[in-house]
Structure 1
Amino acid sequence: MGYLLHVNQTPPPLNDDEIVDRLHQMAFELEHLKGETLRGDTALRASRGALVMMMAGLIRASEPQP
């Protein structure tokens, strides 16, 4: 998953599985965080939920259609 980038070089495009993995990593990172304020905590919870929904949507869209 790691790669070195030179100046002005963009990373290679990610395939759907790699994107799902990245979304999962981000959701996991947010899982154990708690906001100091209700606003911050609400933003963290909403972000986790959005990441999980995006993962589910991408997985569902990647499944073969009958």
Structure 2
Amino acid sequence: MPYILVQVTDEGVTREQKARIIAGATDLMVEVLGKDPESTFVLIDEVKTDNWGHGGEMVTLRRQRERRGG
């Protein structure tokens, strides 16, 4: 019974994109491990950019700096 956790920042992932992620992750478990899609669970966790860090910095601040071109 695979349980797949996909974490992304909450930056406008659409319902269609989420559906594709769920289908793709399930298909991968079927193809690679021979798992039953009916027993495969996929959870998409959208994390606020204030709660996600990269390179020692809050993603919110990194995005703001990138938008300013720096």
Higher strand share: 2
Q: Which has the higher contact order (CA 8 A, sep 6+)?
A: 2
TM over 0.5: no
TM-score norm. by structure 2 comes to 0.35
